[in-house]
Structure 1
Amino acid sequence: MYVVSACLAGINCRFDGKNCYDERVADLVKSGEAIPLCPEVLGGLSIPRTRCEMTTEEGELSVISETGEDRTQEYTLGAEKTVDIAKTIGASQAIMKEESPSCGLRRIYDGSFSNKKITGTGISSKLLLNAGVKVMTEEDL
C-alpha cells in the first residue's frame, strides 16, 4: 500500500488550484493500491493558497508564504497527519511530488521565490522517512 501526493493522482489541490497528474500514480489509486492525500490541505491550508517555500533562518526551519506569512505550523500538522494515515493504512511506501515544501525528496525551492531549487527534503517526506516509510517521487517511477 502507498500514500501518494494527491496532486499526482489528478486532484486539484496544488497551491494554484491545479494538479500534477501522473497516470502511473492515478492508476495505483484506481486499483486500490494507493491513498491520495495532500499534506498542505491536511494541515488546514485552502485551495488555492499563497505559494510557500522552505527557508532556514538562524538554524530554524520555516515555511513562509510569498506574502511573508509563517505557515510552518500548518505544514508540520499536515506532515504529522500524513504519517498517521500512512501508519493507519499500513503504507510502507510513498510517492510524493518533487520540489514541494511538503513532499519534495531531493529538491525544494530555496525560499527566495525566484524559482531557484536547492538540495532539500520537504517536511512530509522527512517525517515519512523518519517513520520508516520508503519515499520516492514521480521521477522514480
Structure 2
Amino acid sequence: MKLAPVPVPASAPVLVSACLRGVPCRFDGQGKASDAVTEAIGERRPVSFCPEVAAGLPTPRRPAEIVGGDGHDVLDGRARVVDDTGRDVTREFVDGAQRALQAARGSGCAEALLMSRSPSCGRGTVYDGTFTGELQEGDGVTAALLERNGITVRPAPRD
C-alpha cells in the first residue's frame, strides 16, 4: 500500500542521491554534481545517500537494469535487477532501498531528489532491462520504496 505524500516544509531536509552531490559513487565511479540540483535543494539540508554503496556494492561496478518491470515490481517479487553480465543484484538493490528509507526517516526527510533513470533512484523513467539505452516508464527500487512510505520523490533537474 502506498501512503499519500505529506506537504513538505520549505525547511525540511531532503534526501539526495549522493552522486548528484558530486560523490563518485555511480556505477562508473563518477559523480554527477549539478548546479540545477544545488538550486533545487535551496536552503534545505541535503542528506546525501547512495543505496548501492550502502548495500555493499563496489564503486565502480557493472551497470545494472531492472528486468521484467520497474522498482515496484521488484519490491513485489515480479521483477529483478541484474547487471550486464546477468548477475542478479536484486537483494542488494532492495537492501539499499531499505537503508535509504531508514536514512530518510532518521533525518526527517519528507522529500527525495534522486538521480533519473537509475535502477535504484529513477523516478518516472528507468532503463528497460535490455542494456540498449532504451527507456520505459517506471521507478527505481529506492524511489518506489520511498514513495510507498509517503516520501515525495522527484527526479533531479538537469543542467
TM-score normalised to structure 1 length: 0.91
Counterpart residue identity of residue 55, structure 2? G
Q: CA deviation at 1:139?
A: 2.6
Give the Cα–Cα distance (whole angstroms) in 1 for the partners of residues 158 and 33 of structure 2: 15
Label 1:10 to 1:30 Cα distance change in 2 as closer, same or farther (>3 A): farther
**What CA distance in whole angstroms lies between the structure 2 residues aligned with 1:83 and 1:39?**
9
2:65 matches 1:47? no
Specify which of 118, 125, 130 is matched with residue 143 of structure 2. 125
Structure 1 residues 140 and 92: alpha-carbon distance in aligned structure 2, compared to 1, 3 A threshold: farther
Q: Please name the residue that 1:2 is paired with.
A: 14
Q: Which has the higher contact order (CA 8 A, sep 6+)?
A: 2
The structure 1 residue matched to 2:25, chosen from 13, 25, 33, is 13
Structure 2: 5+ residue runs without aligned partners? 1-12, 70-76
SS at match of 1:47: coil
Asked whether 1:64 is paired with 2:76, we answer no
SS at match of 1:136: strand
> In structure 1, what is the Cα distance between the partners aligned to 2:109 and 2:154?
13
Percent identity of paired positions between Structure 1 and Structure 2 = 34
User: Partners of 2:158 and 2:144 in 1: how far apart?
Assistant: 17
Structure 1 counterpart of 2:156, which letter?
E
Query: Is the Cα–Cα contact under 8 Å of residues 9 and 29 in structure 1 kept in the other structure?
Result: no
In structure 1, which of residues 82, 87, 95 is the aligned counterpart of residue 113 of structure 2? 95
Q: 1:114 to 1:140 in 2, by over 3 A?
A: closer
Larger proportion of strand: 1
1:33 maps onto 2:45 in alignment: yes
Are 1:23 and 2:35 matched, yes or no? yes
Deviates more, 1:32-41 or 1:121-130: 32-41
1:32 CA displacement: 6.2
Q: Alignment partner for residue 115 of structure 1, among 128, 133, 136? A: 133
Alignment RMSD (CA, Å):
2.1
Q: Where do 5+ consecutive residues of structure 1 fail to align?
A: none
Distance (whole Å) between structure 2 residues aligned to residue 126 and residue 94 of structure 1: 11
Runs of 4+ aligned residues of structure 1 deviating over 4 Å after TM superposition are 26-32
User: Quick check: 2:84–2:131 contact (8 Å CA) kept in 1?
Assistant: yes
User: SS of the residue aligned with 2:68?
Assistant: strand
1:95 is paired with a residue of what secondary structure?
A: strand
Matches of 1:29 and 1:98 in 2, distance apart? 16
TM-score, normalised on structure 2? 0.81
